[in-house]
Structure formats: structure tokens, C-alpha cells
Amino acid sequence: MAVNFTSQEISQKYDQFARWYDWVEGVPNVLGVSRLRRRLLRRASGNVLEVAVGTGKNLRFYQRDCRIVAADVSAEMLNVARKRAEKLSMDVSFLLADAEALPFPDKSFDTVVSSLTTCTFPDPVAALQEMARVCRSDGRILLLEHGRSNCEWLGRFQDRTADRLAKQLGCHWNRESLELVRKANLEVNAARRFFFGVFHQIEAEPRPGRAQDRAY
């Protein structure tokens, strides 16, 4: 039976385990995710919005001339990220916000970033559409995601364990990341898969005419 949480329930869940979330993320880091973060975030520039910043694991990979706004639905996750930014001597603006209803005007940012998040958003397509809305027409949307492996035995394992993991962590780890990006009508410029196709590194941009075409 599929497990689906509301944004409020996701917020409450992540508030509860914000203190030990970095320990959970130790597994992706062992698989080389930190290296993928560094490689992807070299492409970030200008006014940057990071959606669902979590505990701020991406912060140390940004260029120093980036002007960063970091949003998350969990206040406790933001508290951890704020402390990380202070240790890094970074000037970051933190904001409590729902990814599916970002409180910014259209075309506000040069770069929009999100990592390991489409698995958790209640409506990932809506969240991706919001990222496109607030991104400038000539801007970049940089995504590092995990999803269903294109290696069949591993994909089947993800399917079998998906509901259990979703119930525990709010994470649907067998979602098709690249397919979600395309459903959100983003223009995919580059996409690579790693670790048996589980991790996706995606660079996209708003498709021309997006703001006018979106159905609310």
C-alpha cells in the first residue's frame, strides 16, 4: 500500500530526526555522493536558491561569489543548516518554505538547486514546476537525485522495500527521477546516472513559455 505524507507531515517527520539526519546520509556519501555534489555545484552561479536544503550538506561546495537563499519545510533542519553555514563562515539567507509553493516572484534566481529531494516531495512534479517558475529563462536548474535503478535486480529490490522506507523516512526511493523532471516540462540539457543507475545528476532549464503554460 502506497505511503504518502502531506508537506506538514514531512515537516514534522524531519523536525524529529534533524539531529541525526547526517548519519543517515552517511550511506550516500560512502557511495560517492559528495563527489557528485561538488561536480554539480560548480555549475551554480549568481543568485542561487537551494530548495529543501536539509542540513546544508551542499553549502561547502558553492563558489564563494554565489548569493544563496536556502529554503526548507523543516525548521529543525534549517537550524542545523544555519549552524553549518556559520562554521563555514558563509552568508546564507535561510527561509522556512514549502517547495510546492515557493514565496518568490517568477524568474528570481540565476540557479536553482535541489538534491535528494524528489523522493520526498508529496507532489514532486509541482515542486519541480515551482523551481522552473522562480528560475530565470537563461538560468540553470541543478538536481542531484536518487531513484529507481535501471539495473533490474536492484530496481525490483527498491520496489519491494519502497513502502517500508517511505513510512520510516518519507522517502520514495523508487521514483523515476528523470521522468519526473520531464513531466514537469523542464528542458533537460544534461543527465548522467551513477551507482547502478540509482543516482541522477541533472542539469535543466525552464522550457520557453513555461510560466504562461502552467496549469494551477
User: What residues does each domain of the chain span?
Assistant: 7-206
Q: For 7-206, CATH number?
A: 3.40.50.150
Cβ atoms of 35 and 53 within 8 Å: the answer is no
Cα 143 to Cα 122: distance, rounded to the nearest angstrom: 17
Closest by CA to 177, choosing from 204, 157, 138, is 204
- Of 211 and 33, more confident: 33
In this model, does residue 196 exceed pLDDT 90?
Answer: no
Closest by CA to 65, choosing from 93, 45, 40, is 45
The pLDDT-based confidence of 27 (bands split at 50, 70, 90) is low
DSSP assignment, residue 207?
P
Encode pLDDT of 40-84 as tens digits: 999 999 999 999 999 999 999 999 999 999 999 999 999 999 999
Residue 125: its H or E element: helix 124-134
Cβ atoms of 117 and 145 within 8 Å: the answer is yes
As a whole-number percent, the residues of the chain with pLDDT over 90 amount to 62
In this model, does residue 189 exceed pLDDT 70?
Answer: yes
79-88, 131-140, 146-155, 203-212, range with the lowest pLDDT = 203-212
